[in-house]
Amino acid sequence: MGEEQGQKSVQSSIGIPRLQQAIEFISPLISHSHSVKVFPVKWQSIRNKLEEILSNFTAIDQNSNFNDNESILDTVEAVLATLKNCNELAQRCVDLSYTGKLLMKSDLDIVCTKLDNHIKTLSDVYTRGLLTHRNALVVPKPGLSSSRDDVRFYINDLLSRLKIGSRDMKKQALVAFNDVIEEDGRYVKISVEVDGFISFLVQFLDFEEGEVQEQAVKAVCVISGFESCKGVLISVGIISLLISVLESGGGSSKEFAARCLMRFTENSNNAWSVSAHGGVTALLKICGNGDNGGELVGLACGVLKNLVGVEEIKRFMVEEGAIPLILNLARSKDEIKRICSLDFLQAMAYKDETVSLMVFKEGGISTMVHILDPKSSFSMKLREVSLIVIMNICCSSENSLNILIASGFMNHILYFLSYGEASAQELALKAAFWLCGTSEETKKLMGNAGFMPVLVKFIDSKSFEIREMAAEILSSMVIIPRNRKSFVQNDQNVGLILQKLDPEGAGEANSGNNKRLLLSILMSLTSSNSARKKILDSRYLKNIEKLADAEVSDAKKIVRKLSSNRFRSIWTGFWHS
């Protein structure tokens, strides 16, 4: 027993210097190879392999007491022999002292093969885990005031642990990395600068251990949040790796992967790359799996929404059954699934009559109108998204609008205008504004339904935006004679419009556009004899007179029309002068 320990001790005392000797041999050899002018492609390949071996040996030398790992000791000896051979070949190439090009090319191929074998051996050892808790040197996490060099040293230490650590240590290294990058953005930027860190990190997205994969994709997700780092991740093939995680990863890993893809596909960037690696199919599959949670499905819908900007990809989605799939999600019990699926649908349907028609055929309108039903308990956010989809889809044809109105849409909007909370009223006002602009017939229907008495109340709202929107809707509606007659029947309607035109009132109430809209309403009303009489009888008539005196064009026109009325013929001479 003692004899065996003695042999191991001797082997260790020889092994460590041999490793250092190999490290000291590789750097000058790489430099020397740059002097070679022949077989440049071969020598570039050799240099790349030497740099990888150097990185691995440096990690082992700094972080591991490997005296009980015969695989590493044997590999060091084999590498040293190959290095000597490589150095001889480099010198012969520099001196041009080789006997023939074919023979030298063959010798270089043999060296490349040997180096590949050494790299594979090291990789196999790493997979088993060379570094363990027992022999690891612990580098403490730098403080918040630490220098850039301290951060770089810590990142390099984590890289070494990722390379040569046991499975458990790889996971802990990733956990430690996630802790620091979430806390301090410097670690993200420096990790990108550390040679080989990102390319090694992303390899763990294919790791068979679920917890290791999850920590790796979580780290990538954080890094992808930095605009300056996206290009580096793309260059190491991150798109295909993320899609692989979507296809076979765990739940949390899939969420991180989808979040990354959302960032990479903003403004349809990298859309073709996602599609080429089967990403569209993988994302649709996630949406169609009822066992997936709302968060994951919502993220998948978000990525798909980013991709629809590419027409060919959108057509592929349609062919793959995206429309019925989305509508099924819109009918689910999960609020997140409903919101995100409809948000995706509105992006697909925007200015696309083909998609809009498919939504009609699949019963999509009734689904969305049901969400707007006051009797339902859906959130205001979901109602808003549903309304946006309706407005995008139902503006394409008269038939679609008829179906919408027949489904009870108008009644739902009127209810929220009348009885809804502030947020619901604002949403309903937007819907009424859109509805009023669809057709003359719709304006008549809105008048018959009783929209105008409700809209007039918003003229007195504290919100400038709401006042202006209500005024614009009314201005458009009273153009219709039937609506004008209905509006005038209520004495308070005319009085309120005149009251709000007080030139000495609050500035917002008399802003240019709001004043213009109110005057437009009055201008339409003056086409009616009964309306002119009510304006003339109103105690707020002086507001119009003051505006006319101030040379407000529309006010002067209104006064001229009033002056032609038989009830105030005395004005005729003055205002036509």
Instruction: State the residue for tokens 């992006």.
Output: 347
| Alpha helices for 139-266 (secondary structure H) | 148-164, 167-183, 185-193, 197-203, 210-224, 227-235, 238-248, 251-264
| Token couple for 296 | 């994951």
Instruction: State the residue for tokens 């309706």.
Output: 390
CA 440/CA 239 separation, integer angstroms: 51
Task: Name the burial class of residue 82, with classes exposed (0-12), middle (13-18) and buried (19+) by CB atoms within 10 angstroms of its CB.
Answer: buried
Comparing C-alpha atoms, which of 297, 301, 368, 360 is closest to residue 330? 368
Among 336-345, 410-419, 492-501, the least confident range = 492-501
Residue of higher predicted confidence among 57 and 181: 181
Q: Are 72 and 139 in contact (CB under 8 A)?
A: no
CA 400/CA 365 separation, integer angstroms: 9
pLDDT in tens, 302-353: 999 999 999 999 999 999 999 999 999 999 999 999 999 999 999 998 888 8
pLDDT beyond 90 at 54? no
Facing residues of 165 across strands?
Answer: 131
pLDDT in tens, 94-137: 999 988 899 999 999 999 999 999 988 887 776 666 555 444 55
pLDDT in tens, 354-363: 898 899 889 9
37-44: average pLDDT: 93
| Token couple for 189 | 């930027």
457-478: average pLDDT: 90
How is the chain split into domains, by residue range? 12-128, 350-438, 451-577
pLDDT in tens, 64-106: 555 556 777 888 999 999 999 999 999 999 999 988 899 999 9
| Token couple for 559 | 């006064």
Indicate the CATH number for domain 12-128: 1.20.120
| Token couple for 562 | 């009033």
Comparing C-alpha atoms, which of 389, 396, 322 is closest to residue 354? 396
Specify the amino acid at residue 217: V
pLDDT in tens, 364-378: 999 999 999 999 999
Confidence (pLDDT) at 318: 96
pLDDT beyond 50 at 190? yes
Tell me which architecture the domain covering 350-438 has in CATH.
Alpha Horseshoe (1.25)
pLDDT beyond 90 at 138? no
Q: Are 64 and 164 in contact (CB under 8 A)?
A: yes
Specify the amino acid at residue 248: S
Report the topology of domain 451-577: Leucine-rich Repeat Variant (1.25.10)
Confidence (pLDDT) at 10: 36
Question: Vertex 138, ends 135 and 141: CA angle to 5°?
Answer: 165
For CA atoms 539, 543, 548, 553, give the dihedral sign.
negative
| Exposure on the CB side of residue 313, measured as CA atoms within 13 A | 27
Among 88-92, 235-239, 386-390, the least confident range = 386-390
Helix 353-361, helix 380-393: angle, nearest 10:
120
pLDDT in tens, 537-549: 888 888 888 888 8
pLDDT beyond 90 at 571? no
Which H or E element spans position 282? helix 279-288
Instruction: State the residue for tokens 């893809």.
Output: 261
Say whether 350-438 and 12-128 share the same fold.
Answer: no
pLDDT interval class at 416 (50, 70, 90) = very high
CA 393/CA 309 separation, integer angstroms: 17
259-274: average pLDDT: 95
Q: What's the predicted TM-score (pTM) here?
A: 0.74
